[in-house]
Structure 1
Amino acid sequence: MYNLLIIIQIISAIVIIASVLMQPSKMDGFTNFVSGTTDTFFSRNKSKTRESMLAKVTIVFSIIFALVVIAQNLPTFVQK
């Protein structure tokens, strides 16, 4: 069981790293602040874009990672 948790933790860590690195930079937000915003199709439909999908994947795998870490350390808390 412990080995399965370690494998899940490694896979979720790799997915988190990849999804964070694939997300676009937020630096262009400051240029829109100075020059004004442009309303595009993608800015109105953010829930269907690749960026929102990567954000959701990051959140889900972060929760999985946290739960696995808690599950791995649970026996040490119970013994005390």
Structure 2
Amino acid sequence: MHIFLIIAQLVIGVMLICVILMQPGKTNGLSGFISGGPSESFYSKNKSRTSEAMLSRITVVLAILFAAICIVQTMIK
């Protein structure tokens, strides 16, 4: 059981790193500072249906699974 949890934690950890690296940056850099930020667009209004929202949800789920496995491993020892 302990070895299975270690392998699951390694796999979830690698998946979590990959999903985090696939997410786009949240800032516009200096251009957003000068122009006052992005204006309302179709993309910003429908952000919950985009791949960015999906990656965010996957990140949360993987992080919860990773934390749960850490707690279970601590309780088993």
TM-score, length basis structure 1: 0.83
Whole-angstrom distance in 2 between the partners of 1:10 and 1:75: 17
Greater per-residue helix proportion: 1
**What percent identity do the matched residue pairs reach?**
41
Q: Structure 1's 48 and 59: CA in aligned 2 closer, same or farther, altered over 3 A?
A: same
Q: Structure 1's 30 and 67: CA in aligned 2 closer, same or farther, altered over 3 A?
A: farther
After superposing the two structures, state which structure 1 stretch, 65-74 or 28-37, moved more.
Answer: 28-37
Unaligned runs of 5+ in 1: none
Whole-angstrom distance in 2 between the partners of 1:18 and 1:75: 28
Structure 1 ranges of 4+ moved more than 3 A:
29-34
In the other structure, the counterpart of 1:65 is 66
Report deviation, 1:42: 1.4
TM-score, length basis structure 2: 0.86
Whole-angstrom distance in 2 between the partners of 1:30 and 1:72: 45
Unaligned runs of 5+ in 2: none
In the other structure, the counterpart of 1:38 is 39
In the other structure, the counterpart of 2:3 is 3
How many residues in Structure 1 have an aligned counterpart in Structure 2?
A: 76
Q: Secondary structure at the match of 2:39?
A: coil
